[in-house]
Each structure stands twice: as C-alpha cells, then as structure tokens.
Amino acid sequence: MKKLKSLSSFTKISTVLLILAIAFSAFKADYFEVNKQLELFTGVFKEVNLYYVEDTEPSQLMEDALNGMLKKLDPYTVYIPESDVEDFKMMQTGQYGGIGSTIRKVGDRILVSDPHEGYPADKAGLRAGDWIISVDGKSMINKSTEEVSRVLKGTPGSEVELVYERNGVKKTLVLKREEIQLKSVPYYGMLNENTGYIYLTSFTNKASQDVKDALLELQKNPNLTQVLLDLRGNPGGLLSEAVNISNIFIDKGVEIVSTKGRLKDVDNTYKTLRSAIDTDIPLAVLIDGGSASASEIVAGTLQDLDRGIVVGERSYGKGLVQQSHPLQYGSQIKITIAKYYTPSGRCIQAINYAERSEDGSVSRLPDSLRTEFKTANGRSVFDGGGVTPDIDVEKEDASGILISLVNAGHIFDYATVFKNKNETIAPAGTFELTDAQYEDFVTYLSDKHYEYTTSTEKKIELLAKIAEDEDYSDLTTDITQLQEKAHRLKGDDLHRHKDQISLFLEQEIVGRYYYESGKIRQSLKGDPIITSAIETLNNQEKYKQILAIAEN
C-alpha cells in the first residue's frame, strides 16, 4: 500500500510538472533547459520514492523540495499548500468563519489573548486570559496555535463546543460560528478638537472603503482641520487598495504607482479612477520600520506628490509585487512578478535578492548608493531603502526589563488580575495607573521569574574578558565592584523604568475593558511620533516649508 500511495502521488506531481513545463514553453526561450531539469527532478523523485531504504512521505518530500527551491529567490515567493489556502485568503479579505478571537501559546497550553468585540467568543463571555482546554471533546494541550485555530474555524452557523478554564475553574460553552470580518481600520477618532486620526492595519479588499468611511465620519466634526493616517506596523496587502486609498486624498487621473517586471504583461501604470474625498486637508502619514509594501506605496506616493508630510521612522523597504496563481489539487503559488515605482520614478526596494554572498545571505542597499529623485515640488527623495520620513522621530528603545516582562507574559497576566479586581476604569486614552496600583504590580512580580541582561552588564562583562585577555589582573577587584554596583542598580529597574512599563501595562489593562480599539487609543498617549505630527500640522508655515509649497 505504501508503494501504491507513492506511485499515486508521483503521478499527480508528474502531471503538475508537465503542465508547468508546457506553460514555461509559452514564454521561455530556453525551454529545452527547463524541460531537461524537470525530467531530472522527476527522475530523482521517482527513484527515491520507489527504492529508498525507509518509507517515504511523497507529499512532504515534494513540499520540502518546493520550499527549498523558492527559498533561493526571495521571502515573498512561496508555495501555499491546500491546507493553508484559506488562511492566505483571509489575509487578503480579513474574513473567515469562526468564533472571533486571537489566541497564543503559553507553555503547553493555549490562551485567549483578544476576543473581538461583538463576535461569538465575546458574546459568550470568553475573556483575555482564559485557557482553552478542549474543542469538540478533543484536548488542546500541547497543540500549536495553528492546530487550535484550525479547529475553531469553520462554516458560519456551525457549532463548536469549547471547554475553557478561568481562575482554576473549568466551564463549557457551545458557540455558533459566524462570519468574522476583521477591521482594517480598528480605530479612528479625534485626538484633540481639530486633529482626526485613522489607524490602518492592513490592505485587505475592504481597506479603502474603511478609510473612506472613517474620513467621512471625521469630517462630520466641524472643527476638523487636519488628519493623521497611521501606517505604522502595517505590512501591506493588495496593491489595488493602496491605489484606492491614495485616491481618497489625490484626485482622479493621477499616476499613483507603476510596475515593471521581466514579462511585458506585468508592466502597468495605475492611476486614480475617482474623485478624491479631500485634496486639501493638511495630512501627515505615520510610518516606521514595520510599514511595508502597500503602506510604502501610499506613503511614498503622497510624499512624491507633496500631498502630505511623512513622519516617523524609515519604512521597511519592500518594493516588490506578488501575484498568486492556482495550482493543481487546491494549492497555490505566490510569485514576485515585478517591482513597483512611485510617481517620482523611485523603487524603494532595500534588498537585492538576486545578489547573495557566498553563504547565501543578502544585505540592504547602503545609503551611499541610493539614487536621488524629485517630488512634484522639486524636493529630493531617494530610492533603494524604504521611504525616508520628512520628519524623523526616534522612539525610545524598550528597556531590558520591559522586554523581559512582556516576553514572560507578566504584563498580560497582571492585566487579567487587574480586571478581576476592578469592574470599571476610566475611558481609553485617559486611564492612568495610580502609584498604588503600580506598586501592586511590583508586589505581584515579587515571586515571578524573569531574566534580562542590561547593556551596562554586557559592557562590564566585555571589559572583564578584555582585561583577562590582556592579563590586567590588577583590574579584577575593580571590575568585580563594578559588577556588584550594576547589580544593585538593576534591582531598582522596576522604578527606574516605571514610566515606560506603566504605558505598556495601561494599554494591556485598557484592552480588557475596551477591546482592540481602546488599546490603540490608549497607546497614542504620549506617543512622540503623534506629538511631532500634530505640532507640525498646527504650524502651517512649517508644514508648507517642508512640502516646498510657495506662498500665494
């Protein structure tokens, strides 16, 4: 039976390879070489599956081979097996059938981390911090988040039985799955009496409509005079939605982006197709190192057309376009087909995956090799390294103790404890931990384990090694005293970094009461990039100077 199974898989895969070979012949000049390599691959695959000393798993061998081949290209060209296609579609649409909750693994168990407001998990009373014990009678202990997510998802209207644990007590729920539509704009609102804010997390097929709706709602406020579009941490998505979102602020008939690839049929120019919602309101686009792809199209285009200022940190630098193609047996392949260029003519791709060092690694394009381009008003912008902000704002680095507390789950867990003790809190954006509440958190940590090494400790350790290598034994006592003093100072890090830790703790606590939108609103409090953007928009003379807009 094993051999018959191998032959069946081999027949299917041979068919796939033959179809690919025929497809290649339509546009590939060296078809003979392509066909030759396909025959060699087919031969090796056949011989291994028929004669290898141990039983083989043809499907896994093929998947590993495909992934190994694609790994040589770029990280965005990937094979999507049938089992992952639904997740891939969800990334494009933000839509799936399920209970509406994010989960994460802690130890050998699965934790509810964020029930989405108004969906089955929330309506049934599941909370962040609840442990998922079983689903439909099957234990979820030692399961991965992917495995648990797969059984929680299903056809809208179908039921799923869930056993969860809270405060040591197990309870059973029967939930009816619904169609879940994740919001690409989970929060928008007024930050002050005249500043509107829109937070866009992804470029799904409804993203532009969500941004448009948010802006129209903000425009109902007669005091609105300026807008922030926050693309920080947004990894991108559909190119068409990047064009449509740009169209909200750029009028009809303007080139937004162009694509160029090896094949002529992927060369396209994308222009705005509709009248804009608002071409005049002062605009600031917020970016950081997590803003990529479609986010960079929007930020780079609005910058190139001098439609608004870009504030924050340099973006990721992904100037590549992918296209998905269906394969046999329900699988797909997503292929990088082109590079994209913003209106000034620049491509912001930071890494050339075609050029690798001997060990296979790739590196970013150095600033010295970036080429200068000009915006509509003649400002200098550069290619090859992401979008550089008009106003660069450095964020404070997270302290070692904060990183340790987050990674150990103590921030998350204390928020659960806080929620159990406090029925209500102040509205999102205004909530602040009192000194007494922070000290309660410090007390909570007294028997908790977390480790971290400070930069000072690392430097002293390096000094000790150098002194040992250079045989400066007389320094041993001094170095030991430094280490002891650094350790004593480290003991007060919970108070030394109180402001930074409090901000993260407040966000997690607010999320327990006001869901994702509340957590986002709370995170904006004291945000240096937000502050810088508002200050610049409030100073219209500075705003126009940055955009090189001549006074009338």
pLDDT in tens, 295-340: 999 999 999 999 999 999 999 999 999 988 888 878 888 999 999 9
The top-scoring range by mean pLDDT among 217-221, 406-410, 496-500 is: 217-221
The CATH number of 95-181, from 2.30.42.10, 3.40.50.300, 3.90.78.10, 3.90.230.10, is 2.30.42.10
pLDDT in tens, 39-58: 898 898 899 999 988 999 98
Q: Which two tokens stand for residue 30?
A: 């060296």
Q: Which of 6, 101, 258, 293 is catalytic?
A: 293
208 is known as an active-site residue: no
Residue 89 CA to residue 478 CA, distance in Å, equals: 61
Q: What is the pLDDT of residue 470?
A: 84
Q: Residue 390 contacts by C-beta under 8 Å, 6 or more apart in sequence?
A: 303, 309, 310, 311, 546, 547
6 is known as an active-site residue: no
293 is known as an active-site residue: yes
Q: Give the pLDDT mean for 427-445.
A: 95
Give the end-to-end CA distance of the chain in Å, rounded to a whole number: 83
pTM: 0.87
Query: Is pLDDT above 60 for 104?
Result: yes
Question: The domain 187-356+365-392: what is its CATH number?
Answer: 3.90.226.10
Q: Which of 143, 183, 318, 498 is catalytic?
A: 318
Higher pLDDT: 37 or 359? It is: 37
Banded pLDDT at 8 (limits 50, 70, 90): very low
Cα angle for residues 519, 521, 524 (degrees, 5° grid):
110
Run of H or E including 439 = helix 435-444
Q: What is the pLDDT of residue 216?
A: 98
pLDDT in tens, 181-207: 889 999 999 999 999 999 999 999 999
Query: Is pLDDT above 50 for 69?
Result: yes
Banded pLDDT at 486 (limits 50, 70, 90): low
Q: Which of 74, 210, 288, 304 is catalytic?
A: 304
Cα radius of gyration rounded to whole Å, the chain: 27
Query: Is pLDDT above 80 for 18?
Result: no
Q: Give the pLDDT mean for 155-160.
A: 92
Residue 334 CA to residue 337 CA, distance in Å, equals: 9
